[in-house]
Amino acid sequence: MSKRDYYETLGVGKTATGDELKAAFRKLAKQYHPDVNREAGADERFKEVNEAYAVLSDEQKRAAYDRFGHAGVNGGGMGPSDFAGGFGVEDIFETFFGGGFGGGRGTSRRAPRRGADLRYDLTLTFEQAINGVDQEIEFTRNESCDSCQGNGAEPGTQPKRCDTCKGSGEVRQVRQTFLGSMVNVSACPTCGGSGEVIQSPCRACRGKGQLRRTVRRVIPIPAGVNTGTQIRVSSEGEPGANGGPTGNLYVVISVAPHKYFRRREDQIFVEVSINVAQAALGAEVLVPTPYGPEKLKVPSGTQSGTIFHLRGKGAPRPQRSGKGDLFIIVNVATPAELTKEQKKLYEELRKSSPAEAQPLEHGLLERLHDILES
Protein backbone atom coordinates (compact mmCIF):
# COMPACT_ATOMS: atom_id res chain seq x y z
CA MET A 1 0.00 0.00 0.00
CA SER A 2 1.51 3.37 -1.07
CA LYS A 3 2.22 5.94 1.62
CA ARG A 4 0.43 9.26 1.56
CA ASP A 5 2.38 12.36 0.53
CA TYR A 6 3.79 14.11 3.60
CA TYR A 7 2.81 17.59 2.39
CA GLU A 8 -0.71 16.37 1.71
CA THR A 9 -0.81 14.76 5.16
CA LEU A 10 -0.10 18.10 6.84
CA GLY A 11 -2.24 20.05 4.39
CA VAL A 12 0.56 22.39 3.27
CA GLY A 13 2.29 23.17 -0.01
CA LYS A 14 5.81 22.12 -0.93
CA THR A 15 7.06 25.67 -0.32
CA ALA A 16 5.74 25.77 3.27
CA THR A 17 8.01 27.48 5.78
CA GLY A 18 9.05 25.99 9.11
CA ASP A 19 6.46 28.11 10.95
CA GLU A 20 3.73 26.98 8.56
CA LEU A 21 4.70 23.33 9.09
CA LYS A 22 4.68 23.81 12.85
CA ALA A 23 1.25 25.49 12.80
CA ALA A 24 -0.21 22.71 10.63
CA PHE A 25 1.26 20.04 12.89
CA ARG A 26 -0.09 21.64 16.07
CA LYS A 27 -3.59 21.84 14.61
CA LEU A 28 -3.70 18.27 13.31
CA ALA A 29 -1.98 16.76 16.36
CA LYS A 30 -4.58 18.28 18.65
CA GLN A 31 -7.38 17.10 16.35
CA TYR A 32 -6.27 13.46 16.09
CA HIS A 33 -4.56 12.79 19.43
CA PRO A 34 -5.96 9.44 20.76
CA ASP A 35 -6.76 10.94 24.16
CA VAL A 36 -9.00 13.51 22.47
CA ASN A 37 -10.34 11.76 19.37
CA ARG A 38 -11.91 8.32 19.92
CA GLU A 39 -13.10 7.85 16.36
CA ALA A 40 -11.94 4.87 14.34
CA GLY A 41 -8.75 5.62 12.43
CA ALA A 42 -7.79 8.66 14.53
CA ASP A 43 -4.81 6.84 16.05
CA GLU A 44 -3.36 5.97 12.62
CA ARG A 45 -4.00 9.50 11.35
CA PHE A 46 -2.17 10.88 14.39
CA LYS A 47 0.85 8.68 13.62
CA GLU A 48 0.85 9.82 9.98
CA VAL A 49 0.83 13.48 11.04
CA ASN A 50 3.77 12.94 13.40
CA GLU A 51 5.72 10.98 10.80
CA ALA A 52 5.18 13.67 8.18
CA TYR A 53 6.27 16.46 10.51
CA ALA A 54 9.32 14.53 11.71
CA VAL A 55 10.57 14.39 8.13
CA LEU A 56 9.55 17.81 6.81
CA SER A 57 10.76 19.74 9.85
CA ASP A 58 14.29 18.40 9.31
CA GLU A 59 16.12 20.17 6.47
CA GLN A 60 18.20 17.16 5.38
CA LYS A 61 15.32 14.67 5.51
CA ARG A 62 13.03 17.13 3.75
CA ALA A 63 15.56 17.61 0.95
CA ALA A 64 15.92 13.85 0.53
CA TYR A 65 12.14 13.44 0.51
CA ASP A 66 11.66 16.23 -2.05
CA ARG A 67 14.17 14.54 -4.36
CA PHE A 68 13.45 10.83 -3.93
CA GLY A 69 10.07 10.67 -2.17
CA HIS A 70 9.50 8.10 0.56
CA ALA A 71 12.38 5.99 -0.73
CA GLY A 72 14.78 8.77 0.19
CA VAL A 73 13.77 8.77 3.85
CA ASN A 74 15.03 5.86 5.92
CA GLY A 75 14.71 3.38 3.06
CA GLY A 76 11.02 3.85 2.38
CA GLY A 77 9.53 5.55 5.39
CA MET A 78 9.75 5.81 9.15
CA GLY A 79 7.40 4.69 11.83
CA PRO A 80 6.58 6.22 15.22
CA SER A 81 9.49 4.37 16.86
CA ASP A 82 12.12 5.48 14.32
CA PHE A 83 12.74 8.96 15.74
CA ALA A 84 16.34 9.64 16.72
CA GLY A 85 17.45 9.68 20.32
CA GLY A 86 14.65 7.42 21.54
CA PHE A 87 11.97 10.07 20.98
CA GLY A 88 8.56 9.07 19.66
CA VAL A 89 5.10 10.46 19.01
CA GLU A 90 4.45 11.53 22.59
CA ASP A 91 7.83 13.29 22.88
CA ILE A 92 7.06 15.48 19.88
CA PHE A 93 3.61 16.22 21.26
CA GLU A 94 5.00 17.14 24.69
CA THR A 95 7.45 19.58 23.13
CA PHE A 96 4.64 21.61 21.59
CA PHE A 97 1.85 21.17 24.14
CA GLY A 98 3.61 20.99 27.51
CA GLY A 99 3.12 17.38 28.53
CA GLY A 100 0.31 16.13 26.32
CA PHE A 101 -3.11 14.82 27.28
CA GLY A 102 -4.48 12.36 29.83
CA GLY A 103 -1.81 12.52 32.53
CA GLY A 104 1.25 12.27 30.29
CA ARG A 105 4.82 12.50 31.44
CA GLY A 106 4.66 16.27 31.74
CA THR A 107 1.88 16.20 34.33
CA SER A 108 2.96 17.51 37.71
CA ARG A 109 2.78 15.02 40.56
CA ARG A 110 1.83 17.88 42.87
CA ALA A 111 -1.55 18.22 41.16
CA PRO A 112 -4.51 16.94 43.21
CA ARG A 113 -5.11 13.24 42.60
CA ARG A 114 -8.25 11.28 43.39
CA GLY A 115 -7.91 8.40 45.83
CA ALA A 116 -8.28 4.79 44.71
CA ASP A 117 -11.64 3.01 44.81
CA LEU A 118 -12.10 -0.01 47.08
CA ARG A 119 -14.16 -3.18 46.60
CA TYR A 120 -15.95 -5.17 49.28
CA ASP A 121 -17.59 -8.54 48.48
CA LEU A 122 -20.74 -9.07 50.57
CA THR A 123 -22.75 -12.31 50.73
CA LEU A 124 -26.43 -11.97 51.69
CA THR A 125 -29.08 -14.52 52.51
CA PHE A 126 -32.02 -14.83 50.12
CA GLU A 127 -34.28 -13.09 52.65
CA GLN A 128 -31.86 -10.18 53.12
CA ALA A 129 -31.62 -9.66 49.37
CA ILE A 130 -35.41 -9.71 48.94
CA ASN A 131 -36.34 -7.54 51.91
CA GLY A 132 -33.30 -5.27 52.17
CA VAL A 133 -31.11 -4.88 55.24
CA ASP A 134 -28.81 -2.43 57.01
CA GLN A 135 -25.61 -4.49 56.92
CA GLU A 136 -22.52 -3.67 58.96
CA ILE A 137 -19.26 -4.37 57.17
CA GLU A 138 -15.61 -4.17 58.21
CA PHE A 139 -12.74 -3.36 55.85
CA THR A 140 -9.27 -1.84 55.87
CA ARG A 141 -8.10 1.29 54.10
CA ASN A 142 -5.48 4.02 54.31
CA GLU A 143 -6.36 7.10 56.33
CA SER A 144 -4.57 10.34 56.99
CA CYS A 145 -2.16 10.12 59.93
CA ASP A 146 -3.57 11.96 62.97
CA SER A 147 -0.12 12.63 64.36
CA CYS A 148 1.30 14.57 61.38
CA GLN A 149 -2.03 15.56 59.79
CA GLY A 150 -0.99 13.73 56.65
CA ASN A 151 2.14 15.70 55.76
CA GLY A 152 4.55 12.92 56.84
CA ALA A 153 6.68 15.20 59.07
CA GLU A 154 7.23 14.69 62.79
CA PRO A 155 4.93 16.99 64.83
CA GLY A 156 6.68 20.28 65.48
CA THR A 157 8.50 20.14 62.13
CA GLN A 158 7.49 20.94 58.58
CA PRO A 159 8.52 19.52 55.19
CA LYS A 160 11.07 21.72 53.41
CA ARG A 161 10.99 22.83 49.82
CA CYS A 162 13.05 20.56 47.59
CA ASP A 163 16.28 22.26 46.53
CA THR A 164 16.59 20.16 43.39
CA CYS A 165 13.29 21.13 41.75
CA LYS A 166 12.66 24.32 43.78
CA GLY A 167 9.32 22.96 44.90
CA SER A 168 7.90 22.25 41.44
CA GLY A 169 8.18 18.46 41.73
CA GLU A 170 9.61 18.29 38.21
CA VAL A 171 12.98 18.43 36.56
CA ARG A 172 13.52 19.41 32.94
CA GLN A 173 16.26 18.20 30.65
CA VAL A 174 16.98 19.77 27.27
CA ARG A 175 18.06 17.33 24.56
CA GLN A 176 19.27 18.16 21.09
CA THR A 177 17.65 16.05 18.35
CA PHE A 178 17.10 16.38 14.61
CA LEU A 179 13.87 18.21 15.48
CA GLY A 180 15.81 20.78 17.48
CA SER A 181 15.84 21.27 21.25
CA MET A 182 13.58 18.84 23.07
CA VAL A 183 12.54 19.39 26.69
CA ASN A 184 12.00 16.21 28.68
CA VAL A 185 9.97 16.68 31.88
CA SER A 186 10.13 14.03 34.62
CA ALA A 187 9.45 13.69 38.33
CA CYS A 188 12.13 15.07 40.58
CA PRO A 189 14.38 12.19 41.74
CA THR A 190 15.04 13.86 45.11
CA CYS A 191 11.47 14.44 46.32
CA GLY A 192 9.68 11.91 44.10
CA GLY A 193 7.55 14.65 42.56
CA SER A 194 6.10 16.03 45.79
CA GLY A 195 8.15 19.24 45.73
CA GLU A 196 9.00 18.78 49.40
CA VAL A 197 11.61 16.91 51.40
CA ILE A 198 10.85 15.49 54.86
CA GLN A 199 13.93 15.77 57.06
CA SER A 200 12.26 14.45 60.25
CA PRO A 201 9.74 11.73 59.26
CA CYS A 202 6.69 11.20 61.46
CA ARG A 203 7.32 8.25 63.77
CA ALA A 204 3.66 7.20 63.74
CA CYS A 205 3.39 6.73 59.97
CA ARG A 206 7.13 6.61 59.12
CA GLY A 207 6.83 9.64 56.90
CA LYS A 208 4.08 8.23 54.67
CA GLY A 209 1.38 10.57 55.93
CA GLN A 210 -1.12 7.66 56.02
CA LEU A 211 -1.91 4.70 58.26
CA ARG A 212 -3.70 1.43 57.53
CA ARG A 213 -6.86 1.23 59.63
CA THR A 214 -9.86 -1.07 60.06
CA VAL A 215 -13.16 0.69 59.45
CA ARG A 216 -16.73 -0.35 60.26
CA ARG A 217 -19.64 1.03 58.30
CA VAL A 218 -23.37 0.24 58.14
CA ILE A 219 -24.42 -0.09 54.50
CA PRO A 220 -28.14 0.23 53.64
CA ILE A 221 -28.89 -2.58 51.18
CA PRO A 222 -32.05 -1.88 49.16
CA ALA A 223 -34.69 -4.56 48.70
CA GLY A 224 -34.40 -6.63 45.54
CA VAL A 225 -30.63 -6.72 45.04
CA ASN A 226 -29.24 -9.79 43.32
CA THR A 227 -25.89 -11.44 42.69
CA GLY A 228 -23.67 -9.00 40.81
CA THR A 229 -25.38 -5.85 42.10
CA GLN A 230 -22.85 -3.10 42.93
CA ILE A 231 -23.60 -0.46 45.54
CA ARG A 232 -21.45 2.67 45.48
CA VAL A 233 -20.66 4.28 48.82
CA SER A 234 -19.23 7.71 48.04
CA SER A 235 -16.00 8.93 49.65
CA GLU A 236 -15.32 5.73 51.60
CA GLY A 237 -12.31 4.64 49.52
CA GLU A 238 -8.65 5.59 49.75
CA PRO A 239 -7.76 9.23 50.52
CA GLY A 240 -6.70 11.49 47.68
CA ALA A 241 -3.25 13.02 47.28
CA ASN A 242 -2.37 16.71 47.33
CA GLY A 243 -5.89 17.68 48.35
CA GLY A 244 -7.57 15.43 45.79
CA PRO A 245 -10.98 13.83 46.50
CA THR A 246 -11.37 10.52 48.32
CA GLY A 247 -12.18 7.43 46.27
CA ASN A 248 -15.38 5.43 46.55
CA LEU A 249 -16.22 2.06 48.11
CA TYR A 250 -18.03 -0.45 45.91
CA VAL A 251 -19.98 -3.19 47.68
CA VAL A 252 -20.46 -6.15 45.33
CA ILE A 253 -23.40 -8.40 46.26
CA SER A 254 -23.55 -12.19 46.16
CA VAL A 255 -26.78 -13.94 47.22
CA ALA A 256 -26.61 -17.38 48.83
CA PRO A 257 -28.96 -20.07 47.44
CA HIS A 258 -32.24 -20.65 49.27
CA LYS A 259 -33.46 -24.06 50.38
CA TYR A 260 -36.80 -23.74 48.55
CA PHE A 261 -36.96 -20.60 46.43
CA ARG A 262 -35.29 -20.12 43.06
CA ARG A 263 -34.96 -16.69 41.48
CA ARG A 264 -34.71 -15.36 37.92
CA GLU A 265 -34.42 -11.56 37.99
CA ASP A 266 -37.67 -10.41 39.65
CA GLN A 267 -39.44 -13.77 39.23
CA ILE A 268 -39.37 -16.37 42.02
CA PHE A 269 -40.20 -20.09 41.72
CA VAL A 270 -41.10 -22.59 44.42
CA GLU A 271 -42.28 -26.22 44.34
CA VAL A 272 -44.92 -27.46 46.80
CA SER A 273 -46.43 -30.87 47.46
CA ILE A 274 -50.12 -31.70 47.88
CA ASN A 275 -51.75 -35.07 48.46
CA VAL A 276 -53.89 -37.02 46.01
CA ALA A 277 -57.17 -36.12 47.73
CA GLN A 278 -56.39 -32.39 47.62
CA ALA A 279 -55.48 -32.66 43.96
CA ALA A 280 -58.55 -34.71 43.02
CA LEU A 281 -61.19 -32.91 45.10
CA GLY A 282 -59.68 -29.43 45.35
CA ALA A 283 -58.57 -27.66 48.50
CA GLU A 284 -57.31 -24.43 50.02
CA VAL A 285 -53.69 -24.82 51.11
CA LEU A 286 -51.01 -22.60 52.64
CA VAL A 287 -48.01 -22.06 50.38
CA PRO A 288 -44.70 -20.34 51.22
CA THR A 289 -43.82 -16.95 49.75
CA PRO A 290 -40.83 -14.70 50.47
CA TYR A 291 -43.14 -12.58 52.60
CA GLY A 292 -44.85 -15.30 54.63
CA PRO A 293 -47.47 -18.03 53.99
CA GLU A 294 -50.33 -17.31 51.58
CA LYS A 295 -53.57 -19.19 50.92
CA LEU A 296 -53.79 -20.87 47.53
CA LYS A 297 -57.00 -22.31 46.12
CA VAL A 298 -56.25 -25.60 44.37
CA PRO A 299 -59.10 -26.56 42.00
CA SER A 300 -60.34 -30.12 41.74
CA GLY A 301 -58.54 -32.26 39.19
CA THR A 302 -55.20 -30.47 39.60
CA GLN A 303 -52.39 -32.41 37.98
CA SER A 304 -48.81 -32.77 39.13
CA GLY A 305 -46.71 -30.05 37.49
CA THR A 306 -49.51 -27.47 37.44
CA ILE A 307 -48.11 -23.94 37.84
CA PHE A 308 -49.98 -21.29 39.81
CA HIS A 309 -49.20 -17.60 39.48
CA LEU A 310 -49.25 -15.09 42.36
CA ARG A 311 -48.78 -11.54 41.10
CA GLY A 312 -46.67 -9.11 43.13
CA LYS A 313 -45.18 -11.84 45.33
CA GLY A 314 -41.82 -12.01 43.55
CA ALA A 315 -38.67 -9.96 44.10
CA PRO A 316 -38.77 -6.14 44.38
CA ARG A 317 -37.45 -4.15 41.42
CA PRO A 318 -34.69 -1.85 42.75
CA GLN A 319 -34.62 0.38 39.66
CA ARG A 320 -38.38 0.74 39.35
CA SER A 321 -41.50 0.36 41.45
CA GLY A 322 -43.37 -2.83 42.16
CA LYS A 323 -42.43 -6.48 42.47
CA GLY A 324 -42.19 -9.45 40.20
CA ASP A 325 -44.38 -12.56 40.43
CA LEU A 326 -44.21 -15.84 42.32
CA PHE A 327 -44.74 -19.10 40.41
CA ILE A 328 -45.85 -22.11 42.44
CA ILE A 329 -45.24 -25.54 40.90
CA VAL A 330 -47.53 -28.18 42.39
CA ASN A 331 -46.43 -31.80 42.75
CA VAL A 332 -49.01 -34.41 43.67
CA ALA A 333 -47.42 -36.68 46.29
CA THR A 334 -48.16 -40.40 46.16
CA PRO A 335 -48.30 -41.93 49.66
CA ALA A 336 -45.54 -44.45 50.36
CA GLU A 337 -47.56 -46.29 53.04
CA LEU A 338 -51.32 -46.88 53.20
CA THR A 339 -53.69 -47.97 55.94
CA LYS A 340 -56.05 -50.83 55.20
CA GLU A 341 -58.92 -48.41 54.67
CA GLN A 342 -56.84 -46.21 52.32
CA LYS A 343 -55.66 -49.24 50.39
CA LYS A 344 -59.23 -50.39 49.91
CA LEU A 345 -60.26 -46.98 48.59
CA TYR A 346 -57.35 -46.92 46.14
CA GLU A 347 -58.26 -50.41 44.92
CA GLU A 348 -61.76 -49.20 44.11
CA LEU A 349 -60.25 -46.14 42.38
CA ARG A 350 -57.93 -48.30 40.28
CA LYS A 351 -60.82 -50.42 39.02
CA SER A 352 -62.55 -47.35 37.63
CA SER A 353 -59.39 -45.81 36.06
CA PRO A 354 -57.94 -46.56 32.58
CA ALA A 355 -55.05 -49.01 32.57
CA GLU A 356 -52.84 -47.32 29.96
CA ALA A 357 -50.58 -44.30 30.63
CA GLN A 358 -51.61 -41.12 28.82
CA PRO A 359 -48.94 -38.99 27.02
CA LEU A 360 -48.82 -35.27 27.85
CA GLU A 361 -49.25 -32.76 25.02
CA HIS A 362 -47.83 -29.84 27.01
CA GLY A 363 -45.54 -30.86 29.84
CA LEU A 364 -43.90 -29.03 32.74
CA LEU A 365 -40.77 -28.03 30.82
CA GLU A 366 -42.82 -26.41 28.07
CA ARG A 367 -44.93 -24.51 30.60
CA LEU A 368 -41.82 -23.24 32.38
CA HIS A 369 -40.35 -22.17 29.05
CA ASP A 370 -43.52 -20.23 28.23
CA ILE A 371 -43.34 -18.45 31.60
CA LEU A 372 -39.68 -17.48 31.23
CA GLU A 373 -40.17 -16.23 27.69
CA SER A 374 -43.29 -14.22 28.48
Domain check: are 139 and 15 in the same one?
Answer: no
CB-CB contact of 204 with 148 (8 Å): yes
Same domain, 81 and 140: no
Residue 181 counted as domain residue = no
- 198 domain-assigned: no
- For position 195, what pLDDT does the model report? 86
Residues 114 and 252 in one domain: yes
Query: Is the same domain home to 138 and 57?
Result: no
| Per-residue pLDDT reduced to its tens digit, 146-180 | 898 888 899 999 989 999 988 888 888 877 765 56
Indicate if 286 and 359 belong to the same structural domain.
yes
Select the more confidently predicted residue: 126 or 184.
126
Q: Could you tell me if residue 342 is inside a domain?
A: yes
Do 250 and 368 reside in the same domain of the chain? no
pLDDT at residue 83 tops 80: no
Q: Which of 204, 225, 257 lies at the terminal end of a domain, its last residue?
A: 257
Residue 64 has pLDDT above 90, yes or no: no
In a domain, 243, yes or no: yes
Whether residue 178 is contained in a domain is answered as no
Domain of 14, CATH number, reads 1.10.287.110
In this model, does residue 282 exceed pLDDT 90?
yes
For the segment 114-146, what is each residue's pLDDT rounded down to a tens digit? 889 999 999 999 999 999 999 999 999 999 888
Any domain includes 201: no
Task: Work out the widest C-alpha separation in the chain, in whole angstroms.
Answer: 114
Per-residue pLDDT band at 264 (split at 50, 70, 90): very high
Distances in Å between the Cα of 59 and the Cα atoms of 78, 84, 134, 155, 327 are 16, 15, 71, 60, 80
Give how many domains the chain has, as a whole number: 3
Q: What is the pLDDT of residues 11-55, one digit of tens each?
A: 999 889 988 999 898 888 888 876 677 788 888 888 888 888 988
Please report the DSSP string for 165-215 in residue order. Answer: TTTSSEEEEEEEETTEEEEEEEE-TTTTTSSEE-SSB-TTTTTSSEEEEEE
Residue 367 pLDDT grade (very low, low, confident, very high; cuts 50, 70, 90): low
pLDDT at res. 202:
92
Is residue 95 a contact partner of residue 87, using CB atoms and an 8 Å limit?
A: no
Counting other chains too, the contacts that 123-127 makes at CB distance below 8 Å and 24 or more residues apart are: 123/254, 123/255, 123/256, 124/221, 124/225, 124/253, 124/254, 124/255, 124/256, 125/255, 125/256, 125/258, 126/255, 126/256, 126/257, 126/258, 126/261, 126/263, 126/290, 127/290
* CA–CA dist 177, 157 (Å, integer): 45
Q: Of 198, 223, 257, which residue sits at a domain end?
A: 257
Q: What is the pLDDT of residue 364?
A: 57
Q: Which residue has the higher pLDDT, 40 or 329?
A: 329
Nearest by Cα to 282 from 297, 303, 272, 295: 297
Inside any domain, residue 133? yes
Domain membership of residue 134 (yes or no) is yes
Shared domain check, 346 and 239? no
Q: Which of 97, 126, 161 is the last residue of a domain?
A: 97
Are 251 and 288 part of one and the same domain? no
Most confident option among 16-30, 281-295, 341-355: 281-295
Q: Based on the domain organization, do 252 and 136 belong to the same domain?
A: yes
Tell me the pLDDT of the chain averaged across its residues. Answer: 82
Whether residue 312 is found in the same domain as residue 232: no
Asked if 227 and 305 sit in the same domain, the reply is no
Lowest mean pLDDT among 77-86, 141-150, 194-203: 77-86
What is the CATH number for 131? 2.60.260.20
Same domain, 118 and 80: no
Domain coverage including residue 122 = 108-144+212-257
